[in-house]
Amino acid sequence: MYKILSELNKYDEPAKLLKALAHPTRLCIVAGLMGGSCNVNKIKDCLDLPQSTVSQQLAILRSQGIVDGARNGTEVYYRVINEKAKELVRVLLGENPALFE
């Protein structure tokens, strides 16, 4: 029992990943970005959400190392960089979860 308790910290990263993907909007964003990179305007239009909401959710995903953004002029294009997140989304939503086409 003591050995298990001392090893709880190995569950911290997987729990953070699950927590970040647990919100429907964030899960949807990750699923959509699995089809390729996309900017905030396209994501907000596809999800019919305010730009501020999309930006806030992307900030959470970035802080957890799930997505990353690359600047192209004045726009930032986001993509999924975390392979475990991709695996989880495929398990949850199937092999072809991309939404932003």
34-45 burial, b if ≥16 CB within 10 A, otherwise e?
beebbbbebbbe
Q: Does 5 fall in a domain?
A: no
pTM for the structure as a whole: 0.85
Domain containing residue 86: 13-93
Residue-wise pLDDT for 61-81, tens only, equals 999 999 999 999 999 999 999
- Count of domains observed in the chain: 1
Residue-wise pLDDT for 49-61, tens only, equals 999 999 999 999 9
CATH number where 28 lies: 1.10.10.10
